[in-house]
Every structure is written in structure tokens, then in C-alpha cells.
Structure 1
Amino acid sequence: MSVTDEAIARIREMIADGRLKPGDRLPKEADLAALLGLSRNSLREAVRALSLIHVLDVRQGDGTYVTSLEPERLLEAVGFMVELRHNSSLLEVFEVRRLLEPAATARAAERITAEQLAELELEMQRAEAAETLEQLVEHDLQFHRMIVAAAGNQVLAALLTQLNSPTVRARVWRGLTQDGAQARTLAEHRGIVAALSARRGDLAHACALVHIAGVEEWLRASVQAVEDQPPA
């Protein structure tokens, strides 16, 4: 383990055991380095690394603070990493969604409130009234965010939100190139809402699986078609 990695581990331990809590200001650099038995350079590198993944917030002229440690912030780095990947890796993102999101949708069928169902219905109506493909895709993203949020697991909701964001271009691409894709998306959303309204976790799982797997298979075929093209 490098000295910087050790410094990261020591700060992480302080947060994990409660010596540093969300919103706390870290001791001055010299004091914290002495407390942890580290050089100031090693501590500085550790703070920089932890700020990049939103564990620490460095405020110029004010000090360094522990962030809220909310899953949404901590998992932002996942979305950034996925954005840098190529189409073949995007397939892996859809595979993860296929593994996780149907289970979240089934859980949502057990936990969703009447108010959340009403909001989901309004979101469906907004999607059906969308005038552009880009608007429809944005409503599509919001639709999925709302369902996963209704499952009541903040970590899962944050993870799926980060995995959904990099798929926007693929969804627009599908809408432009696949006949009937927009109407199919809306119809499949309707099926998911019906399953949620009926409190049918098994049916909600099946509807979400068919919906996500359909997009995944379209993307797989599209990527393969591009790879099979002879070089110019």
C-alpha cells in the first residue's frame, strides 16, 4: 500500500467509526497529519483523491469538510466512468440495468404509494404529449427514476440513476433508427404502470425485464452491425 493509499484508508476509518461525520470540518492540515502520523504531502494527496469522489469537499479559504455522503454524490464517479466507455461497454451498462432494475420495479410494486402512482401517471401523460424525441427520452429517464425511487433503496436508486444517464444517446439513436420504437416504449411503460397499480411484483418484474432487454438487444445488434462493416 502506498503512503497516499494509507492516508486515504486512515481518513476513511475516521469517517467509518464516527470520528468524522457528514458536514464536519477536518482539522487543520498540520494537526491532522500529526494525528495520523503522516506527512503533509501524503495527506494533501489523500484529500485531493477523496474530494474527486465527493467524500470530502475542499472549500478554498474555508477548509475541508466531509460531504453529506449521500449515495447520489458518492456514485457520481460511476456515471462519469461510464460516460467515458465505448458502445461495447455501454452494453455492459444495459446488462447491469437488466439485472437490477426489474428487481427494483418488483420492490416498487410492494412499496409505491398512491401519491407516487399519481405522479407516475402524470409523467406518462407528459411523455405521451412530448413533441420531440429528446423530450420523450427525458421523460423516459424520469419515469425510471421515479419507479426506482419508489422501491425505497437510496443506494440502488443512486446507482441506477448514474447508469441511466449515459444511455441517453443510445435511446435517442434507437428512436431515430428503429421503426415504432417510441410507440413501443410508451406501451411498455403503460404495462409497467398497470403492474405497479395492481401491486403485482411478479408482473412488474416481467414487464421491466422485457422493456430493458428489448433496448439491450437492439443496441447489441446495432453495435454488431457496425463492427461487421468492412473497412473503408
Structure 2
Amino acid sequence: MAVTDDAILRVREMIMSGELKPGDRLPREADLADRLGLSRNSLREAVRALSLVRVLDVRQGDGTYVSSLRAGELLGALSFVLDLHRSEESVLEMLEVRRILEPAATANAALSVSEEDIEELRKLCDATEQAGSVEELVEYDLQFHRRIVTAAGNNYLAQLMDTLAGPTVRVRIWRGISQGGAVDRTVAEHRAIVDALEARQPDLARSWATVHVAGVEQWLRDLG
């Protein structure tokens, strides 16, 4: 194991054990390196790596702190990685992950969705139907799916799905441009999902969400 990797594991263990909690300031570099039996250089590299994935927050002139460790912060690094992988194969794999996770989230949402959520989802369906551009269509579509996953009540899942949505935006835009009737199909599938949510039917909501996400995935596969 590389020295820097070992240093990362040591710091991670301190966080996982609760010795270092969100918001805590790390001991001075020299003290921490001595305590962990590490060189200051290897500890410095570990801190730099953990700050890149937002586990640690390096504040110039103040010290290094454990971040809040909130899902949104930690998944920000994943968003950066996904943005670097925009090949057709990579996007297909991201869509496959969506097809696995989003129907489950939609089924959960059917058990906890509020009347306010339903009303907002129907407004988004109407807005999508009246969208004046493909870009507007994509934005309303993103809002629609975000609202449903948020209603499922799992913050980590909501953040993950939001992160996965970014790299697929380009696919959705090209789908709208290339396929006739894309708006009609999108709205019809959205309304079917909302109907299932309002009826509190998790299995039906899951099925419609699967059909909806799988449609984009299959279109890209056929295109290739």
C-alpha cells in the first residue's frame, strides 16, 4: 500500500470511529503526523486528497477541518468525475444506474408523496407540454424527477440521482431534437407516473418510472 494511501486510511479511521467529527479541526500537522507514525509529507498528501473529495476543508491561515460530510458535498466530487466521462458507453452505464435506482425511489415516493408534491408535479407536466424549446423541456423534466426522488425522503438517494442527471442532459436534448413526438411521450409518461403516485400505488409507479427511464436508454442503444 502506498504511503499516502495508508495516511488516507488512518485519517478516515479517525473520522469513522468518531474521534474526529464533522466540523472538528484536525490537530497540528506535526502533532498528527507524529501520532499516526507518518511523515509530514505523506500526511500533507492525504489531506490534499481528502480535501479534493470534500471530506476535509482546508482553510488557509486557519487550519484543516472535517467537512459537514453532508451528501451534497461528498457527491460533488462524483459529479466532477461523471462530467469527465461523457462517452456513449459511459452515459449508457449512468442511465442503467438510473433505471435501477429511480423506479425504487418512485415507488417509495408513492408512500410518502404529499398533495403539494402532486400539485407541483402536475404543474410541471403542464409546463413541459407547453415548453417552447428543447432546453425548457429538459429543465422541466429534470425538475419533475428531482421532485419525485426528493419526495421519497432519502437525502442521499436524492443527491445521487441529481448527480447522475447531469451527464444525461445532453442525451435528453438530442433525444428531443432527433425524435418526433418526444414531448408528447414524455408528458404522457410523466402524467402516468403522477397518477400512480396520487393513487398511492408503489408497484404501478415503479413500473411507469422503469418504462420512462428505459425509453431514453433504449433510444441511445438503438442510436449506437
Same fold, judged at TM 0.5 (above): yes
1:205 aligned residue: 206
2:156 aligned residue: 155
Cα deviation for residue 199 of structure 1 reads 0.4
1:133 aligned residue: 134
Q: What residue ranges of structure 1 are gaps of 5+ in the alignment?
A: 225-232
- 1:123-170: per-residue Cα shift (whole Å, max 9, x none)? 333333332211211111111111111111122112111111111111
Classify the secondary structure of the residue corresponding to 1:45.
Answer: helix
Q: What is the number of equivalent residue pairs in this alignment?
A: 223
State the alpha-carbon separation in 2 of the partners of residues 24 and 126 from structure 1.
45
Classify the secondary structure of the residue corresponding to 2:64.
Answer: strand
Cα deviation for residue 118 of structure 1 reads 2.5
1:11 aligned residue: 11
1:54 aligned residue: 54
**What letter matches 1:185 in structure 2?**
T
With normalisation by structure 2, the TM-score equals 0.95
With normalisation by structure 1, the TM-score equals 0.92
Q: Compute the RMSD of aligned alpha carbons.
A: 1.3
1:172 aligned residue: 173
2:125 aligned residue: 124
Comparing 68-77 with 92-101, greater Cα deviation is found at 68-77
**What letter matches 2:175 in structure 1?**
R
Comparing 49-58 with 22-31, greater Cα deviation is found at 22-31
2:81 aligned residue: 81
- 1:52-99: per-residue Cα shift (whole Å, max 9, x none)? 111111112221111111112212222222222211111111111111
* Contact 2:128–2:183 (8 Å) recurs in 1: no
* Contact 2:109–2:152 (8 Å) recurs in 1: yes
2:215 aligned residue: 214
State the alpha-carbon separation in 1 of the partners of residues 61 and 82 from structure 2.
33
State the alpha-carbon separation in 1 of the partners of residues 19 and 176 from structure 2.
51
**Identity of counterpart residues, as a percentage?**
62
1:95 aligned residue: 96
**What letter matches 2:129 in structure 1?**
E
